[in-house]
Structure formats: C-alpha cells, structure tokens
Amino acid sequence: MEPTLDISIVIPLYNEEESLPELIAWIDRVMKSKGWNYEVIMIDDGSKDASWKIITELKTKFPSLRGFSFRRNYGKSAALNVGFEACRGQVVITMDADLQDSPEEIPALYAKIMDEGFDLISGWKKKRYDPLSKTIPTKVFNWATRKLSGIHLHDFNCGLKAYRFDVVKSIEVYGEMHRYIPVLAKWAGYTNIGEQVVQHQARKYGSSKFGLERFINGFLDLLSITFVSRFSKKPMHFFGLLGLIMFKAGGFLALWIIAQKLYITYYLDERAALVTQNPLFYLGLLSMILGTQFFLAGFVAELVSRNAPDRNKYHLKAQTDV
C-alpha cells in the first residue's frame, strides 16, 4: 500500500466535545498555510457526550475530516490502531484531542521525518503543565522504559508524535500499548527514532481520562511487552533454561545430601542424621519441582506460539523486481 496524501493527523478522543471545533479549525489553518494535502482522522472512542454529533457536523465544513465511532469505550490504543489502519498520509501525526498539544508543532515534526529521515519522532513535553502527582511518576516510568527498551526518549507517552507511513502500517497497537509505540516500532525494525521538544498547555476543557492506576498498569505492560518481545517466539529459551537450572541445582543439592549420609553411614561407619532432618533437602526437592514446572510451562508456551497466526509475520523493507 502506498501513501496518497502528504499528511494524516490521527486524533483519538473520548468525551472531548468542547475542544473539537477549535482543534480542527486550528489544524486546518496550519495545513492550509503549508498547502498540504491532508486528512484528519478522528476516532470517537465511545464518547458519552456530543463528540460524535459534533464530528459529523464538522465534516460538512471540513471535508478532509474522517470520523470513526466506536460502539463503546475501547481505549486509546484501539482508537489509534483504527487511525493507523485507515490513514493514507506519507507522514502520520498523532495528537490528543484536548488542545494540550498544539497543531503549530506539526510542520517541524513533518520536516524531521521527510527531510532528516527519521522513522518516528516523539514529542517531548519538557515543561509540563500537569499536577505533580502526574509528573513525578511519569519521570520514573520514562526512566524504566528507557532502561528496558534501550530507546533514549525523555517522554514515551507524549500524545504528539510523527511517523513515517510504513511504521504505522507495520505495528499493531493493542491493550494499553499506546504508551510504548516507540518500543513497538523499534521491534518492527524502525530504529531511527528521535524526539523533539514540544509546547504543552494545561487542559482547557474537560478532564484527564487516565487516573493514577495508569502507572501500575503501565509498569505491568512494560514487563509483558519486554518479555513478549524477547521470548514470545521462543518461550522455551526462557522457561526451559530457567527450568533446567533449577532442576539441576535442586538435584545436585539433594544428591549431595544423600551422598553425605551414605558416606557417614558406610565409610565412617557412624550413625548419620536422617536426610529429612536437613532443611536443605526440602529446598532441593522444591527447586526440582519448580524446575519441572517451568520446563512444562515452556513446552506449553511453545505449543501456543506454534499455533499463533502471526508466528511468521515479517515486514519486508524492500524487494527486487521479479
């Protein structure tokens, strides 16, 4: 599939009725000033307010607006995924609907992708207008993500990002993985990832849709995403290795204790204590049982991944003519 427009702007939204008219008018101004062929894709993530009605009304005034409406609230990731599937621009911009990100940033992001050859540019809200209860955990979250993913970004979860067309067509954003799109892109082979400082405004209308639970869930997602990336196609390499090490360590421990007992009884000809009186013996048994469990888990996981429909899904970079 080839891009047919200069730029697509993908906007997931949930109960953002007040912001939408202002947002689209602003984007339209910026796009017109650049003379770009563009589309704005708004994905209404099951809003309970008048957001969808407003989108259908705005459509008559701004024909380059495309709207999608979910039957219920599926989350920001699902909304972004719909936008990524539908978009047709050479450069794809994602932004939040709440006017915290400014459309004025779009030309600079566009230039980074088109002129400087980046695959993905992530916005960096260097100066944030959010409460402290959000900015401090965010710092920790970004640090952990940097360490685990090896991508040097300051602000992974910034809603304002720019992508090359191929990138969004190669990744699938699911669950709550919208926080880790740069990580998904890196695994898909797009390693030229950069960042750009962007302005950030306090929310003008409405309220934030994510509470503090985002940090706990976000951390669990980070663990699973790291695990899945490393081992989902070869789970035995993780479980099998762990299982073998534990089984062997436990086995040696148990054998050693038994050997000691035999040595004392038959060689020294003395009365040895019962092996069951030694706590280490139980530790050895426990380790052997756990090791076997790990091994079996690895085996089952191997069978599962063998049956996964995308077990052999690759994205080619290029191909010669046939």
How far apart are the C-alpha atoms of 299 and 277, rounded to whole Å? 35
Nearer to Mg ion, 212 or 262 (CB): 212
Q: Does 94 bind ligand UDP (CB under 6 A)?
A: no
Antiparallel, parallel or unpaired: β 89-94 and 65-69: unpaired
Q: Tell me how far, at minimum, the Cβ of 164 lies from Mg ion, in Å.
A: 25
Residue 209 DSSP class:
S
Contact pick of 39, 96, 105, 166 for ligand UDP (by CB under 6 A): 96
Contact string 131-170 vs ligand UDP (x = CB under 6 A): ----------------------------x-----------
Contact pick of 98, 101, 105, 221 for Mg ion (by CB under 5 A): 98
How many other CB atoms are found less than 10 A from the CB of residue 84?
23
Q: Does 73 bind ligand UDP (CB under 6 A)?
A: yes
The residue behind tokens 């090490």 is 245
How far apart are the C-alpha atoms of 66 and 26, rounded to whole Å? 16
- Between helix 235-262 and helix 213-231 the angle, nearest 10°, is 80
Q: Does 138 bind Mg ion (CB under 5 A)?
A: no
Binding-residue total with ligand UDP (CB under 6 A): 17
Q: Tell me how far, at minimum, the Cβ of 208 lies from Mg ion, in Å.
A: 6
Q: Does 100 bind Mg ion (CB under 5 A)?
A: yes
Which of helix, strand or coil describes residue 63? coil
Nearer to ligand UDP, 23 or 246 (CB): 23
Contact string 169-208 vs ligand UDP (x = CB under 6 A): ---------------------------------------x
Q: Does 210 bind ligand UDP (CB under 6 A)?
A: yes
What is the edge-to-edge ordering of all strands in the sheet holding 5-13? 65-69, 38-44, 5-13, 89-94, 161-164, 120-124, 193-197
Q: Tell me how far, at minimum, the Cβ of 207 lies from ligand UDP, in Å.
A: 7
The residue behind tokens 């013996």 is 281
Residues near 280 by beta carbon (within 8 Å), at least 6 away in sequence: 253, 257
How far apart are the C-alpha atoms of 256 and 254, rounded to whole Å? 5
Residue 163's φ and ψ, nearest 5 degrees, are: -130, 150
Query: Residue 75 touches which of Mg ion, ligand UDP, none (CB < 5 to 8 A by kind)?
Result: ligand UDP
> Segment contacting ligand UDP (CB under 6 A): 93-101, 216-224, 225-233, 275-283?
93-101
Nearer to ligand UDP, 212 or 286 (CB): 212
Q: Does 224 bind ligand UDP (CB under 6 A)?
A: no
Nearer to ligand UDP, 141 or 247 (CB): 141
Contact pick of 75, 123, 235, 240 for ligand UDP (by CB under 6 A): 75
Contact pick of 6, 10, 14, 221 for ligand UDP (by CB under 6 A): 14
Contact pick of 7, 12, 93, 103 for ligand UDP (by CB under 6 A): 12
Q: Does 64 bind Mg ion (CB under 5 A)?
A: no
Residues near 172 by beta carbon (within 8 Å), at least 6 away in sequence: 81, 184
Residues in the chain: 322
How far apart are the C-alpha atoms of 40 and 193, rounded to whole Å? 24
Query: Residue 194 touches which of Mg ion, ligand UDP, none (CB < 5 to 8 A by kind)?
Result: none
How many other CB atoms are found less than 10 A from the CB of residue 213?
8
Rg (CA), the chain: 27
Residue 152 DSSP class:
-
- Which residues are at the interface with ligand UDP (CB under 6 A)? 12-14, 16, 45, 73, 75-76, 79, 96-98, 100, 159, 208-210
